[in-house]
Amino acid sequence: MRNINSYLLTPLIACVCAGFSVSAQAVVLDDVQLRQEGANAVLQISFVTPVQYSRSVSARASDVVQAFYTVLPTRTTLNLDNTERRLKAGGQIPSFSVRDESAAKTSVTSTNRRLVVSFAKPVKFKVRSGKTNRSIELVLEGLGESVKAVQVANAKPVPAAAVVVLPTPEVLANQEIEASAKTLLATAQSAFDSGQYDAATESLNKLLNLPPSGSSRKAQELAGLARLNAGDKARAATEFETFLKLYPTGPDSDRVRQLVATLPKIGPAPELVAKVDAPPTSTTSGSVSSFYYGGNSATCTEDKQNSLLGCQELLNPNAQLSSATQKQLQTSLDLNWRFRDTEKDMRFVFRDSSTADFLKNTSKERLTAMYFDYKSLTKGANIRLGRQSPTGGGVLYRFDGVQAGYSFAPKWKVNGVLGKPTDDLLDAKRQFYGMSVDAEALTKELSGSAFLLEQTIDGETDRRAIGVDLRYFKGGLSASSQLDYDLMIKKVNIASIQGNWQVNDMTSFNVLLDRRTTPILTLGNILFFQTTATAKRVSDLLGTQTVEQLRETVNVNTAYQNQFRIGATRVLNANWQTGADFSVSNVDEIKPNQENLTGSPASGNLWSTSVQLIGSNLYSLRDTHVFNVSFLGGPNDHGTLLSYNNLTSLGEKWQLEPSVKYYSSSSNQSGTRDTWTLGMRGTFRVRNQVSLESEVTYELTDAVGTTTSNSSSTNYYLGARVDF
């Protein structure tokens, strides 16, 4: 037992003992998990921050899909680098990778992003928004029974010397089980077809007492039909009820449901298969990547009124030539360890990256995550300790600390959190604690949570907030809303609602309505509203002003940011679909006050409307094309954006992604600007776990205003990623 405890506690000790002094920036992609949902498998892709899913496009080969989404406003500092997760094949589910990256290939920091999910072989799937605004899901149709096989394939059994386990379905010979099940099903079907229902039932009982297999679903339905044809309606109803519990969706489920409606009502169906404990398994996965970023730019500027020949005329004293260069090496480590048995599910996550800037001769480390997570599968309790992303409950920042929960009733859970924000606020000292209650089924379609959170800064209340999060799901409609209210400043911080409506397989809509203070109201914001003082702690300001006066200064100098977005996607035919989006945002006025004598005018409406034409499989089984036209405008600026992005797979090894973008803008203050951007990204997979990647972009800009300038820049990166 001593060896077992040492094996399990090593990640926890590493997490607790390691310091949290390095800066934190969260990558957007958090985790990838499979779960069974009736007859289907669901691939849940989780994020560290709220997102809004918009649309997807897949290849004809049904082995590649792109899911587009937008990162919603957040207080957490995000690292928008590319991220990738992989899982090995199991059962009928092939191995696959999930890559998160910028949707605008020529702008890696864009909050418009995409997931590229690649399967080793074709599967039937559909994409949908997740149960919260922090996830997107792929439904793998008819592959629910293969979920456990994937979990086993990606796990390593705990050494026999450490733990003694009983034989289980996962450690039996799967091929023998499948062969026996098929033989028994064939025997039962033959007996059933010849009217020998008792003989059919005998063979089916033997099959259903085996571990689950590819024949189990058909056998369970046939067991009910055999009982029904034999005249035993009560036992037939029991068999059918068991079938519907195991397989709630599918054409056969609809057929069985119609039969059940004609049969006598019965109580809960007994389990036909004795539960067998799953073996303890451990999983270690992750990736190491290293990329070099280089490039240079040159800008030629001259006085417009004295311009004759441009910057090529060396005698022109007004001509100026400037250049800039980047030379950086970024290395990232992503490590995930997991241990599961029948009583608990434990996980250790470590994500870290470092950037070496060879021009500035500096280096910076970014610790994204380092936490230990424990979930009791029998008592409904969980605890997570370490550096982690906020998961709701009013927490707005990545933090170092602990959060825990306990299920005190079916579908009801109470949670607590205690921590310290990882982003420093000058020299101020901040910490927070709070609690929340989750209800998974307020009604059949509605779930939600309520929270209370207290945050302190230098001994004073920084933020005291209450709020609710609600989630609604019915059919193809999903919606989530968020409300955050500050009790100290007595003002709403966040009021937001977003929704997705999948009308049918051809048409879908998405909408977002968001109003929030910018920045989020906290007492600590006063450190940035000083006109003469240079205080680095809130306590330094309390000698001349009361805390109530400081809060009022924060209140009158904080404006609301308002955002509305609506979009739609329509499938035209097997190769084409179209999408359209409209968004408008603005920032409210800040009136003149003692700390801001001039105030700040309202921004006016900043709007954009865009139309996409999305093609797939135009010349191969794995090519996709996104044509985009966007018009942008505001009180003083207008712009037009034309872009084209392509993704083409050349065999199993190569993937090429060319892109081109043209942006033209005009401003009442700075004149006109035209920019062309060309990009090419290439990925070569040396083997399943090793890939090489490179991208080159070239940008050319002509600007005409009080001065005329021509600038060009070339940027590139190249590197490698190893998954394990």
Domains, in order of start, for the chain = 25-157 (2.60.40), 191-260 (1.25.40)
Q: Residue 189: what are its φ and ψ, rounded to 5°?
A: -65, -40
CA 623: distance to chain centroid?
24
What is the percentage of the chain residues whose pLDDT exceeds 90?
A: 34
The two tokens of residue 500 are: 């997705």
> What is the rounded distance in angstroms from the CA atom of residue 111 to the CA atom of residue 107?
9
Query: Most confidently modeled of 58-67, 298-307, 432-441?
Result: 432-441
Q: pLDDT per residue over 276-334, tens digit each?
A: 455 688 888 888 999 999 988 766 654 433 333 334 333 333 334 344 578 999 999 98
- Report yes or no: 296 and 325 within 8 Å, Cβ to Cβ: yes
For residue 394, which of 463, 467, 481, 486 has the smallest C-alpha distance?
467
Radius of gyration of the chain (CA): 29
pLDDT at 2: 37
- Helical H runs in 539-604? 547-556
Reply yes or no on whether the pLDDT at 274 is more than 50: no
pLDDT at 692: 93
Reply yes or no on whether the pLDDT at 403 is more than 90: yes
Is the alpha carbon torsion for 424, 425, 426, 427 positive or negative?
Answer: negative
- Helical H runs in 93-173? 147-153
What's the mean per-residue pLDDT of the chain?
81
What is the percentage of the chain residues whose pLDDT exceeds 70?
A: 84
Reply yes or no on whether the pLDDT at 350 is more than 90: yes
| Residue 445, strand partner residues | none
- Report yes or no: 50 and 74 within 8 Å, Cβ to Cβ: yes
Local structure of 319: helix, strand or coil: coil
Local structure of 160: helix, strand or coil: coil
Assign 131 a pLDDT band (cuts: 50, 70, 90): confident
Assign 61 a pLDDT band (cuts: 50, 70, 90): low
Question: Residue range 223-245: average pLDDT?
Answer: 84
Q: Which residue would you say has higher pLDDT here, 324 or 655? A: 655
Assign 265 a pLDDT band (cuts: 50, 70, 90): low
Q: What is the pTM of this model?
A: 0.71
pLDDT at 12: 32
pLDDT at 595: 76
Bond preceding residue 519 cis, omega within 30 of 0: yes
3-state DSSP percent of the chain in helix, strand and coil, to 5:
15, 50, 30
The two tokens of residue 179 are: 């062969």
